Amino acid sequence: MTVATKNIIETYSSLFEGLDSLTKLELIERLSKSLRKEKTSKEKAFFSSFGAFPDGKSAETITEEIKRSRTFRDKDLKF
* Reported confidence tier of residue 3, pLDDT bands at 50, 70, 90: very high
Reported as a single tens digit per residue, the pLDDT across 24-58 is 999 999 988 888 776 666 777 777 777 666 677 88
Buried b (16+ CB within 10 A) or exposed e, 27-36: eeeeeeeeee
Give the total residue count for the chain. 79
**Has residue 21 got a pLDDT over 80?**
yes
Domains of the chain: total: 1
Domain annotation covers residue 8: no
Q: Which domain holds residue 27?
A: 15-42
Domain annotation covers residue 24: yes
The pLDDT assigned to 58 comes to: 84
**Could you give the dihedral angle defined by the CA atoms of residues 11, 16, 17 and 22, in that order, rounded to the nearest 10 degrees?**
-170
Element (H, E) at 67: helix 59-69
Reported as a single tens digit per residue, the pLDDT across 54-63 is 677 888 888 8
Domain annotation covers residue 37: yes
